[in-house]
A and B are shown apart, each in its own frame.
Chain A
Amino acid sequence: MSETVQAGDHKASVDGDQPRVGVFVCRCGGNISDIVDVDAVARRLSDVRGVVCATTHQFFCSDPGQALIEQSIKEHNLDRVVVAACSPSLHEITFRRAVARAGLNQYLFEHANIREQVSWVITDKSAATDKAERLVRAAVARTRRLAPLQKRRIHIRPSVLVIGGGVAGLTAARDLAARGIHVTLIESSPFLGGRLAQLHRIFPTGQRARDVVTPLIEEVASNPNIVIHTNAELERASGFIGDFHTVVRIMPRGVSEACTNPQEVIDSCPEETVDGFNLGLAKRKAIYMPYAGCYPPVPAIDWRSCTKCGACFEAAAGKGIDLDEKPREVMIAAGAIVIAAGLNTYAPRHGEYGYGQFQEVVTLAQLNRMLDPTGPTAGKLTVNGRSVRRVGFMHCVGSLQHEGIHKPMRDGRINQYCSRVCCTTTMHAAEEIKDRFPGVQVYDFHEDIRTYGRRHESYYDHVCQQGVAFIRFDPLRPPTVEADTKGEFPLVVKTTDRLTFGEELEVPLDLLVLATGLVARDMSKLVDLYRCSVGADRFLLEVHPKLRPVELAAFGLFLAGSVQGPMDIAESTAAAAAAASKASALIKAGQIELDPFVARVDEHHCSGCKVCLYVCPFTAIERNDSTKTARVNEALCTGCGTCVASCPCNAIQQQGFEDSQVESELMALLAGKPPAEELLAAV
């Protein structure tokens, strides 16, 4: 909720009363007064209607200078102040504070820039003096139209919703909870850990992924400040920074902690289905746990393959199994939201580099499962029961696509972008193959090797030394994969090699690993509920990659990890911590104070034409369908004023930049022309 700060300084005359303006022209130790005749400016201004004092000083920014302003306000009972000095970017705050100290509303102050934009750029003294005078007159004209304003204050509910239970979501939740902030973590699948849990080893440390994810989950699960909902789907959302309300639908798990013999229960299930955790390389039961040590340590029922035969119910002796469990809804109130919804790997099309056509063509993620000693092949490098002798890696599958060469994705767009992690992942996997299976020959088909990160290049370097053969293809003529007709190997990759100056190569292989790229998930619900911006690459789009890299345009929504684009584990972790830092700052402050230069709708003038709704980049304007008028949500408004220029009925005004204020400034600059009042009378 937003409210205005009560500053208790309402000494300001309203329109109609004659404002009492004080004008203070700074000499700036000669920086201004050497060119601008500041005494003449003050003298001429003292004749202007409403100006009750006009004076100069060597340095108004100095303590005595500020004291003079304060004293004059009291002495002359001023209710408007104009300081003509350097650029407002330097001392506007200084003078606003001085004005406030004298008991006047700080927004009844106007700053005229007669140094950077007058004395330092004009050589002709009389022209400079005239210009300074005009600018000060305009400032006086503007101040006379000013109204006292109050800063906005928005209270922040001290809790955060984290969406996504992968490494980024877990990290953000852990960090926020460590700072004593209440966190609700929701995960759409039945288990935490996300993609990290599926990885085998992570670079550049070579740690086992399981060794990283398990302690992280433990930390999160054991923290009393964190509430976890798995199987949770977003349903509805409302609210804004400080007070978001999100309703999630908790889908039935079918199994509760009361089930004491999960493994027996799983074993009892007669239904087998494709094991998604092992990327289709294995099968699992309809009631399942993805891996030993997963969290929660409670099986879940895959309702698509469950026949409700009741075998599990019997195996558990009825304890903790509910085959008729219903979904339920939970409302989560939060002051801020961290979105860590993660991403997907690119699914190659049927026939793309032989994928789906040959069993010997797998994705890099599948290879990672194969290399995992706890994985479906128990860490053996075999295909169809045969040991692999020659393995090839194909880079950029689903990334760095070119118009006309690659088929577009479902939305008609191709994936132009680089998926960032695949090169190093490939080098890392190649290194592991070389280390663990020294006899295996490794071939690497690439366009560029982008081992950009620190210590990433050393993998590349190392596998070069280990004898991995690198073959560089032309991206506009990608390699082809065929069955090897000579029969010794199942596959052959045909390509030209730029590194050997265009040599035509045929490389027979036992296994071809596709380094598939990373793609955004279908986030339409999320995007819809929180009105997120989406980039051309379908990932969520930050406000600005440098100014606000982990924030969405709407205040209070933060991005953590690969929901924003491809990232490796370290980068996701860093992004999650950065998002946590922003959310934590918001929560710890308890409230935010914002400049009062917000837009306001005059409902009597508003025609409800919705024009303003198109322009606001911060979705701060909504339309009340019953009154058919627009309303500005002050908590979201950033005060750009774009809607003001858009409103065809002039029903929106920006505080501090109202039409009448800007126009009176304009008219004063065009001095000698009709009095502003007359021109504005019709408005």
Chain B
Amino acid sequence: MNGNGKLKIGMYWASSCGGCDISLLEIGDKILDLIQIADVAFWPCAADFKYQTVAGYPDGYMDICFFNGGVRNSEQEEVARLLRKKSKLLVAYGTCASDGGIPALANMNSVAEIFDAAYHSNPSIDNPNGIEPRPHVETAVGTLEIPTFYPAVLNLGQIVHADFAIPGCPPQAEDVWEAIGALVSGATPQHNGDRRIGCTSRSVCDECVREKKMTRIAAFRRHHMFRPEPGWCLLEQGAMCLGPATRGGCGALCPQAGMRCEGCYGPAPGATDQGSAMIGAIGGMLEATTEKRAQEMVDEIVDPPGTFYRFSMATGNLKVAQKH
């Protein structure tokens, strides 16, 4: 704490959708409590701060800095390093920062493919000259520089040391407030040994009220194919619910509403590779007793890497596809 005795806090968005910034506001009235004890030292989404301002801060000036989004380009890496330097506590906020999140699904594609989709072959694109962003562009006024696009989305921890991570897409407001409270009070929040906070120390299944009847999965079904029976485990009903392999904290929101868990809180405690954990788990849950049937059932699953690593490609074992 410096100056007025209030905490200095920061929030930055890197490769993210903006939902995390909004989720911080979701703490509602408590934002006023936060303002009582903390000054915002950096929050591009909410107020006009320049990087130079931050660069001018003494090292460790900010008490807590929340970093949301993965790292996709050189600017984001630079800011991550800067914020690391200027913050006492750097917190990976949201699943993109902690595990790569949705943007990291692009790690299955090469930069060329991504650019092709973003700037060329998508039917809604009007780009007759086929222009692509380039880091250096010579113009009449001189060289324009834009950040370099990296070959893969990385999570914050792969760039700099992050002290804690709050997973979730987005993190749930109550959990965030609790985590902030703990950080502010200077206590080490409960983190189950893996420095993830604002979440439970168990999986989504722990919070889910749907019951496992110990029946085996007869066939995989996607959501448009059936109406789930209430009160009964979605996985057992054939929906590829990632609940068992996903960190709890959301209150099992999706399963509660009849939607399978897509895994947005990242790997369950104890695991680092969410997809492997899920594959391991369903290995024993299928009804198939013959190899042929097992293969058929497995073939019914659409896009396994996208299904099992939807939010955690960057922390999985493989992280990027071979095309890179």
A residues at B contact (CB < 8 Å): 602, 604-615, 628, 642, 645-651, 682-683
Q: Are B269 and A607 in contact (CB under 8 A)?
A: yes
Q: A605-B269, A610-B212, A613-B214 are in contact. Are A646 and B281 (CB under 8 A)?
A: yes
Known contacts A608-B205, A608-B206, A628-B206; decide if A647 and B280 are in contact (CB<8 Å). Answer: yes
Contacting residues of chain B (184-219) with chain A, CB-CB under 8 angstroms: 192, 194, 201-203, 205-206, 212, 214, 216
- Name the CB-closest residue of A to B203: A607
In the complex the two chains form, what is the Cα distance from A606 to B192 in whole Å? 12
What is the predominant secondary structure among interface residues of chain B facing chain A?
loop
B284 nearest CB across to chain A (Å): 3
CB atoms of A607 and B285 under 8 A apart: no
Contacts A609-B243, A642-B284 given; indicate if A648 touches B214 (C-beta within 8 A): no
Q: Considering the complex, which residues of chain B in the window 267-303 have a beta carbon less than 8 Å from any beta carbon of chain A?
A: 268-272, 277-278, 280-281, 283-285
Choose among A602, A628, A642, A648 the residue that contacts B271 (Cβ–Cβ < 8 A). A648
A517 to chain B, nearest CB (A): 25
User: What is the minimal beta-carbon distance from B116 to any residue of chain A, in angstroms?
Assistant: 34
Contact of B281 among A605, A608, A611 (CB under 8 A): A611
Determine which of A609, A612, A650, A682 lies in contact with B206 in the assembled complex, contact meaning CB atoms within 8 Å: A609
Interface check B171, CB cutoff 8 A:
no
Bound-state Cα–Cα, A606 to B271, Å: 11
Which residues of chain A come closer than 8 Å to B194, judged between CB atoms?
Answer: 682
| Cβ–Cβ contact B212 & A648, under 8 A | no
List 29 A-B residue pairs with CB atoms under 8 Å apart, sorted by A's residue number: A605-B201, A605-B269, A607-B206, A607-B248, A608-B205, A609-B212, A609-B243, A609-B244, A610-B212, A611-B244, A611-B281, A611-B284, A613-B214, A614-B214, A614-B284, A614-B285, A628-B206, A646-B280, A646-B281, A647-B270, A647-B280, A647-B281, A648-B271, A648-B277, A648-B278, A649-B268, A650-B270, A682-B272, A683-B270
Q: How large is the interface on B (under 10, 10 to 19, 20 to 34, 35 or more residues)?
A: 20 to 34
Query: Is A649 a contact partner of B214 (Cβ separation < 8 A)?
Result: no
Smallest beta-carbon distance B220→chain A, Å: 16
Selected from B202, B216, B280, the residue in CB contact (under 8 A) with A607 is B202
- For residue B154, CB closer than 8 A to chain A, the reply is no
A646 to B244, CA, bound (A): 10
> Which 6 pairs between the two chains have the least Cβ-Cβ distance?
A615-B284, A607-B203, A609-B205, A650-B270, A607-B202, A648-B245
Complex Cα spacing A56 to B38, Å:
68
Q: Shortest beta-carbon distance, B157 to chain A, in Å?
A: 9
Rounded to whole Å, the gap between the CB of A54 and the closest CB of chain B is 33
Chain B residues with Cβ below 8 Å from A646 are 280-281, 283-284
- Nearest CB in chain A to that of B274: its residue: A648
In-complex Cβ contact of A609 among B192, B201, B203 (8 A): B203
**With A and B bound together, what is the CA distance between A612 and B244 in angstroms?**
11
CB-CB < 8 A to B278: which residues of A? Answer: 648
Q: Report how far A642 CA is from B269 CA in the complex, Å.
A: 19
Residue on B nearest A644 in the bound complex, by CB: B280
Known contacts A611-B281, A682-B194; A648/B216 CB under 8 A: no
User: Distance in Å from the Cβ of A34 to the closest Cβ of chain B?
Assistant: 40
- B277 CB contacts on chain A under 8 angstroms: 647-650
Is B202 within 8 A of A608, CB to CB? yes
- Chain A residues, Cβ within 8 Å of B270: 602, 605, 647, 649-651, 683
Closest to B212 in A: A610
In the complex, A351 Cα to B155 Cα: how many Å?
74
Interface residues of B in 212-258 (CB under 8 A from A): 212, 214, 216, 243-245, 248
Tell me the minimal C-beta distance from A79 to chain B in angstroms: 27
Contact residue among A602, A607, A645, A651 (Cβ-Cβ distance under 8 Å from B205): A607
Interfacial chain B residues near A614, Cβ < 8 Å = 214, 216, 284-285
Docked complex: B166-185 residues within 8 A CB-CB of A: none
Which A residue's beta carbon lies closest to that of B157?
Answer: A682
Q: Smallest distance from the beta carbon of B45 to chain A beta carbons, Å?
A: 30
Known: A607-B268, A615-B283. 5 other contacts (CB 8 A): A607-B248, A609-B206, A610-B212, A611-B284, A647-B281
A682 to B269, CA, bound (A): 11
Assuming A605-B270, A682-B194, is B283 touching A648 (CB within 8 A)? no
Q: Cβ of B212: which chain A residues have Cβ within 8 Å of it?
A: 609-610
Contacting residues, chain B, for A649 (C-beta < 8 A): 202-203, 268-271, 277
Contacts of A683 in B (CB 8 A): 270, 272
B201 smallest CB distance to A (angstroms): 7
Contact across chains for A645 and B248 when beta carbons are under 8 A apart: no
Whole-angstrom CA separation of A533 from B277 in the bound complex: 28
Closest CB-CB distance, A239 to chain B, in whole Å? Answer: 21
Chain A hits for B205, CB < 8 A: 607-610
Q: Are B280 and A648 in contact (CB under 8 A)?
A: yes
Q: Nearest Cβ in chain A — how far from B156, in angstroms?
A: 14
Chain B 49-84 interface 0/1 with A at a Cβ cutoff of 8 Å (1 = within)? 000000000000000000000000000000000000
Report chain B residues within 8 Å CB of A602: 270
Complex CA–CA separation, A604 to B191 (angstroms): 12
CB contacts (< 8 Å) of A613 on chain B: these are 214
Smallest Cβ distance from B275 to chain A, in angstroms? 10
Least CB distance, A537 to chain B, in whole angstroms:
15
CB distance from A215 to the nearest CB of B (A): 45
A15 to chain B, nearest CB (A): 15
A432 to B220, CA, bound (A): 59
Q: Are B203 and A604 in contact (CB under 8 A)?
A: no
What chain A residues lie within 8 Å of B243 (beta carbons)? 609
Complex: how many Å from CA A615 to CA B248? 23
Shortest CB distance A544–B (Å): 16
- Residues on A with beta carbons closer than 8 Å to the beta carbon of B214: 610, 613-614
Instruction: List the A side residues contacting B203 at CB < 8 Å.
Output: 607, 609, 648-649
B245 surroundings in chain A (CB, below 8 A)? 648
- In the complex, the answer to whether A607 meets B244 with C-beta atoms within 8 Å is yes
Closest to A605 in B: B270
Q: B280 → chain A, closest Cβ, in Å?
A: 5
A403: shortest Cβ distance to chain B, in Å?
19
Residues in chain B near residue A615, CB distance under 8 A: 283-285
Residue in A closest to B278 when the chains form the complex, CB atoms? A648
In the complex, are the beta carbons of A611 and B285 less than 8 A apart? yes
CA separation between A683 and B269, bound complex, in Å? 9
